[in-house]
Amino acid sequence: MTYELFKESLLKELEKMDATCTYTTKLLPLENRTGEFLIGGKRMPPSAALDLCGLYQQFLKIKDYDVLPVARMFHSYIRLTEIQNTDRINFEDVKDYICCRLVNPKKRPDLMEKTPAVPYLDLAVTFYIDFGIWEDILERTCVLSKASLTQWDITLEDLYTLAKKNTIRWNLPKIIPAKQLIPEMETLHSAPLLAKVLKQSENRYLITNDKERYGTTALLFPEVLEHITQISGCDLYLLLISEHEIVVEPATESLSNLQRISRNIYKDPSMDALSDTVYCYRKGSGRVSVCFHTDYLKNL
């Protein structure tokens, strides 16, 4: 499909979805070129305009070349920009982009009041709309509201099942051995202190994902941790140093080392650690559990 045909088809689909919304294209200057942008909605800010060329390049990666899912995605994006409320979004338009995010309820009571959540150990799984391969273009995510469940007539259990499938689809976990990671430290959220932590042992690993965002959701997929146990041959200790990264420590390491790491992480406000709990994964168990709390470590 040519660019012009793609643009024409996209505009037609959008007009079918909302006859009250006028969609236009406009040439705007970019850093190295002039780009054609798609603009729609009565109250959309200029920052919400969509780079059509970038969208077309992503579209070409889709095997079936169906414009309809793209139109649904952009229509939902416009609605989110206008109303800031997910309970007025069509479920069919966003169901492929609902993903999981692990949060600490004690640190985010404001979020717990607004969004549906599934308890997970001493944490909670919440949900947000992640536009997947389009995210680099849209540069936007949106947390689901509790009213969305009623509006969409979906149970929390079914939402969780759906979001897990989308999470592994759009945010594939990435396991990085410590010895390979040091040259990449400048790209990571917790780089300064994390570099020191990982340099202490070549047996440690870091888990994140390709986007390096919300990488702690890897805990929801035990097969990721089981893979590391197959390599290390032992159980694992897990430190959630941020929402985005997990430090994995082989259980063969001394607890005093783990204690020192925990103290360094949690006394440094720049780390923004997700939890003050140490978790563990026992080889072959298929599940993560709470290992011990840092308050306990201080008494060792």
| Whether the predicted pLDDT of 166 surpasses 60 | yes
Q: Do residues 197 and 286 share a domain?
A: yes
SS3 169: helix
CB 240 within 8 A of CB 274: yes
List of E strands, the chain: 23-29, 34-40, 50-51, 98-103, 118-120, 123-130, 141-143, 173-177, 205-209, 236-240, 246-250, 277-281, 288-293
pLDDT digits (tens, 9 = 90+) for 9-25: 888 887 787 766 677 77
| Whether the predicted pLDDT of 298 surpasses 50 | no
| Residue 126 neighbours by CB distance under 10 Å | 23
**What is the structure's pLDDT at 274?**
86
Cα(125)–Cα(103) distance, rounded to whole angstroms?
A: 6
Burial environment of residue 32 by CB neighbours within 10 A (0 to 12, 13 to 18, 19 or more): exposed
DSSP 253: S
With a CB cutoff of 8 Å and minimum separation 6, the contacts of 219 are: 102, 120, 225, 238, 246, 279, 288
The string over 33-45, giving b where at least 16 C-beta atoms fall within 10 Å of a residue's C-beta and e elsewhere, is eebbbbbbbeebe
Q: Do residues 183 and 275 share a domain?
A: yes
Cα(66)–Cα(156) distance, rounded to whole angstroms?
A: 30
Q: Do residues 104 and 201 share a domain?
A: no
Q: Do residues 231 and 285 share a domain?
A: yes
Q: Do residues 53 and 97 share a domain?
A: no
Q: Which of 155, 170, 185 is the last residue of a domain?
A: 170
pLDDT digits (tens, 9 = 90+) for 226-235: 999 998 899 9
pLDDT digits (tens, 9 = 90+) for 111-136: 898 899 999 999 999 998 876 545 55
SS3 140: coil
Cα(194)–Cα(208) distance, rounded to whole angstroms?
A: 13
Q: Do residues 20 and 91 share a domain?
A: no
Q: Which of 84, 110, 131 is the last residue of a domain?
A: 84
pTM across the whole model = 0.69
Q: Hey, what amino acid is at 150?
A: T
Q: Do residues 253 and 270 share a domain?
A: yes
Cα(68)–Cα(64) distance, rounded to whole angstroms?
A: 11
pLDDT digits (tens, 9 = 90+) for 200-249: 566 788 899 888 889 999 999 999 999 999 988 999 999 898 888 898 98
Partners of residue 123 on adjacent β-strands:
120
Q: Do residues 163 and 178 share a domain?
A: no
Q: Do residues 179 and 293 share a domain?
A: yes
Q: Do residues 134 and 235 share a domain?
A: no
Top-confidence range, 44-53, 76-85, 276-285? 276-285
Burial environment of residue 157 by CB neighbours within 10 A (0 to 12, 13 to 18, 19 or more): exposed
- What is the chain's Cα-based Rg? 22
Q: Do residues 188 and 284 share a domain?
A: yes
Cα(288)–Cα(215) distance, rounded to whole angstroms?
A: 15
**What is the structure's pLDDT at 132?**
55
Q: Which of 113, 143, 170 is the last residue of a domain?
A: 170
CB 182 within 8 A of CB 198: yes
Q: Do residues 74 and 103 share a domain?
A: no
Domain enclosing residue 214, as ranges: 173-297
Report the domain count for the chain.
3
